[in-house]
Structure 1
Amino acid sequence: MALGAYPNSVVPDISPMTYPNSVAQDIGLMTFPNSVATYIGLMTYPNSVVPDIGLMTYQNSVVPDIGLMTYQNSVAPDIGLMTYPNSVVPDTGLLAYRNSYDMSDVRDRKEEAEVSKLVRRLGRKGKNKGQFNMPTGIAITKAGDIVVSDTENHRIQIFSSDGVFKHMFGSRGNELTELCYPVCVAMTTDDCIAVTDSVNACIKVFAQCGEFQNKYGNDSFLEFPYGIAITHDNFMIVSDICKHKIFVLYPSGGIYSEFGSYGSKPREFDHPYYVTVNTKKQIIVSDSGNSSVKIFQFEGKLLRVFSANDFRIGDTFCAVQGVCTDSLDNTILICNNAVYIVTKNGRLWEVITAKDGLSYPKCVAFGHAGRLTVTQSVSSDRHEVLIMEYSPEDFKSLNSLLLYAISV
């Protein structure tokens, strides 16, 4: 499986599998849009590829101690890596010699790769202020502050729009002022914080200062509330992942409608973790176990179902998670560790990827300052919040296409 290299070129003699803007090989590369990752520890840095299994880097080249041979500004691996500085030569059977590759294109790719939408990372694993233990839900106040449910620390933390810690409240327990594994958060019409208090099987509402305001629902109909969204007229939409059901609650807390049961049919759910609502009061559910997005009328009538075949991102299994809408009513979805816009026919339009800093994203929220804020966490790794540049106007031209955002 050796690759031979000429100056400034790469000659593969094996056949990698390619997706748009990425490379996947049949020897263990796992890829996401615009990035390269491996199961054995490849990490990318500007102008180089450095795995944690013995690569040593030199000027404009990569020299491993396990068999890579380098020539002038090029790399010849004997295990299948094909790299230029900040670029990848994909495709099968590519034969490239000196001057046969357009170097201006290489420079353009390099400049593009150096542009990241990441504004700031917040936090790491811990119990102190500004630290997290499995941050999950996220919401944005009218002033632009960032509200995070710090799930396994049993508290809510609030940061400024620029990521500066402001204050926190909550502790573990089952009293009205306490929380037990708070999962998702949403802002009410009067800018209070609604929290799905999962183990206590209810929704609690707090002022931003942390003062308890109200409690909705109880274990007579909720079992494990998870996702939450609030309409412009203060109705609450709550997903229950144990009952595999969606509840719509009046502003007073009573049940307006409920729909769903366990299963894989269009009107059924398998752990519907996250939910959002658009300005037309259409309920959009991230049905994680069925790897699909389902859209319902407010009363529960099914409108559309989108699954992996509709997404067309090259993966047969799609791990759908957080979902929200932006100021233009675009539906924004986390799927397979990237953030996408869901188009009218269900295709996913890439917005933020691993090259922007995503690794284990869970929940996403849009702020009217033109940013997306994402929580990401995994048991022994990152526990953080990412602030990302995003402008709905950048995708407005898609309105002229039949592909664009959900409109039923």
Structure 2
Amino acid sequence: MTKPNSIFWNYILSSILIFLLFFKGSAQEGLAYSTPQKEGLDRELLHAKADSIITNGIKKEAFPGAQVLVAKSGKIIFHEVYGYHTYDSIQKVDKTDLYDLASVTKIMGPLPALMKLVEEGKLDLDAPFSQYWKPWKRRKDKRDITLRELLAHQAGMQPYIVFLNEVLDDGKPKRRFVRSVPSDRFSAQAYDSIFIKNSFSRKMFRKINRSPVKAEKEYLYSGLASLIYPQLIEDLTGDSYEYYLKKHFYLPLGCPSLVYTPERIGFPNAIVPTEFDTLFRHDLTRGWVHDENASLMGGVSGNAGLFGTAMDLGRMMQFYQNFGWLGNEQILQKETVKEFIRVQYPDNDNRRGLGFDKPLLNNSELPLEEAYPAPAASKASFGHSGFTGTFVWADPEKELVFIFLSNRVYPDRSHRMLYELNIRTALHQLFYESQLSSY
């Protein structure tokens, strides 16, 4: 999915971003370290409670390790690592480790690009999406769907399509779609010695184009449109999707670790593994995207595929919390960001913003075990979660950024203690309560 006119510059920008990993500063500082005490919080109590929640999670195998980063008023007051990459306790979690972000990709990858294209007038939130994605003009059930409806999960799109079924026959890869060595026609790499036919992404698009749409306009989470967005961004800009993100966001914001396919490009950071894939790759997935649909697109997709560190996720969420500003530059217009983080269809019992997740509509009234996210989070807050055990949230009203990274799908996705113990919500609430107790 790389445009010829930006291959060279994509390489240059990638080199600059990797260089920033070893440079003391960054293109935009954005976040500075402080201490809980300076922000009026009880450090010892905060650490004791957070450590207890995380340690209990590791003990009950919710995840082998985790990272937590919290920023208050643009200053990092908590950045701690826990446990190991795997349960064998060999490699400790480090602050520079890369995590598979899963669906957090949706707001770190295609979303800022879509926001920029909207404010430039190249996309209209309320025009039929078929104006930009031409195949939908021939689909009666899709021709009038808008980008606003898609981003708010209000379009009635099918939640998911298992594209892996298209490339496997009785559990074995079909040779017409998968090869063990690369060639001109098979260059989309899904894993070591697994290369997907370049044209398979078009097959995926066709199935999305033909997928059923519910007649009722109601909230139904779907990741299908996110598979389309990178190609749409390339079509509208003439640049490769990755190049566009690096040029306009990751480099200016100083986020060198936000990358696709880190294993393929030889990224220097340690990468936390996800799941033992028994269906397709038959190996422990590390440095290659966990999500099968994204893997079939060569690891570069809008629904999943990004990897990153807690620090760079913190910068991006601080950027959103500041309504498009970080360091000394207004990269997105304030009005654009405010529109995207606003609840779009509250009368339809839909809590979502545009791309961003939002608190449950009655969240502040719920007990901790039923709330999402923390019940103390303001209605202005927003973020997203990821299937692999990731979670990012920002609250412009309370000036609080919360990042939680784990590999809860290790060794397999049946591990659901992260949810059963309600770890992310409990941790999130802890930092709100610490703020309240300090006043």
TM-score (norm 2): 0.24
TM-score normalised to the size of structure 1? Answer: 0.25
**Higher strand fraction (1 or 2):** 1
In our comparison, the structure showing a higher alpha carbon Rg is 1
With a CA cutoff of 8 Å and minimum separation of 6, indicate the structure with the bigger relative contact order: 2
